Amino acid sequence: MNDVLPDVVGLWQFLEQSARDVFGTYGFTEIRTPVLEKTELFSRSIGETTDIVEKEMYTFTDKSGNSMTLRPEGTAPVMRSIIQSRLAAQDAVAKLYYIGPMFRYERPQKGRYRQFHQIGAEAIGVEDPKIDAQVLLMLHHFFNRIGISAVSLEINSLGCPVCRPDYRRQLIQYLEQRLEALCSECQRRYQTNPLRVLDCKVEGCRAATVAAPAMIDQLCDDCDQHFSQVRRYLDLLKVPYALNVRMVRGLDYYVRTTFELVTDQLGSQNAVAAGGRYDGLIESLGGPALPGIGFAIGLERLVLMLDKEAVSVTVPELFIAVLGDAAAERAFVLMSQLQARGVRTEMDFQGKSLKAQMRRADKLGAVHTLIVGDEELRSGQAQLKKMADGTQTSVRLDALLEILT
């Protein structure tokens, strides 16, 4: 787990605000759920045989004997909230997004921590493939907004409860003939969670499954038509994508459309955003039979990819450098008045030399500096210096509020 320090928190705020702006344009509103949920929520939704439930969750027993878990992902808590708050009774269509920390006990890697942060979005109540395309367009729009172009959209279909069981049997039969070539982990789970073998990063497993049957070739008519329509709408919207028949995702609740945004800038853990449909999830948790689709974006990974110089950070509009106690008192009042009017203003509180104060103004990236001493107090005038080019303008101290606001 790591701290988000002041020198990078501006990047986080930029990403969070960009998400709020873009998602709001598409009609999504924010929801905030607790970081702690009953363990059963995740074991029922994510799947007992997934790596997350088997090995990665932070789970403990509370004083009442309840098994509790720090949330490892955001979709299941949002679905639980929809059920408990009866949001679906108010409107069968819900578009929600969330921003916050998640927790998984896994090996730390580049851009991955045991406490990590996600921006996610969920569209509930619409089965039409146009909503799949709109969600992917929104994701595409978000990445354009934040200036990250080194990502590629990959899509697949995982079928549904009608067509997936037969494919699952075919895949198990295929894997049984190649068990010796699989890693020990895939040998253990090939019967309980065979699709995950296709996603294994071990080279031997990848080579052994290169000719494995693909779910997309086994789709029922409804799933095939749905996926064809998703691709058609993406083409109409000019959203670029590639078909990846090996993509299976790590959560049991995914059906039909699944997708990832991948990059070659972060090593083997190359996904920066991922998601898909989960049409049976709400019903499996005791709610109404509503379809849904969503995604999650890893914030830490985006921060690694951002052009830090291109992202504006919060800097003081004005730094007031002072000489003498009387000037410090006047500057303090002036600074407080400016701050009350929304002008980001800083000054020295430690009685440092003028040279040291100017170094401080430069370090903070102040847009302007104002030097106030005895002479400026007597004349009521001071020089307002623009730090970028060194140009100076004589200003009246009693007019500074109007000039800067």
Query: What's the pLDDT score for residue 229?
Result: 97
3-state secondary structure of 79: helix
Residue with token string 């000719």: 211
Tokens (6 digits) for 284 = 């499996």
pLDDT in tens, 48-57: 556 666 668 8
47-61, 164-178, 190-204, 237-251: which range is least confident on average?
A: 47-61
Task: For residues 380-395, give the mean pLDDT.
Answer: 90
Sequence-ordered alpha helix ranges (H) in 72-153:
75-85, 87-90, 129-146
Task: For residues 100-118, give the mean pLDDT.
Answer: 81
pLDDT in tens, 296-309: 999 998 988 886 65
What domains, with CATH codes, occur in the chain? Answer: 6-163+219-305 (3.30.930.10), 318-404 (3.40.50.800)
Q: What is the pTM of this model?
A: 0.81
Alpha-carbon gap, residue 69 to 42, rounded angstroms: 8
Alpha-carbon gap, residue 256 to 273, rounded angstroms: 17
CB of 293 within 8 A of CB of 135?
yes
Query: In the structure, what pLDDT confidence band is assigned to residue 310 with cuts at 50, 70 and 90?
Result: low
Tokens (6 digits) for 1 = 């787990």
> Which residues lie below 8 Å from residue 181, measured CB to CB, with a gap of 6+?
204, 205, 207, 208
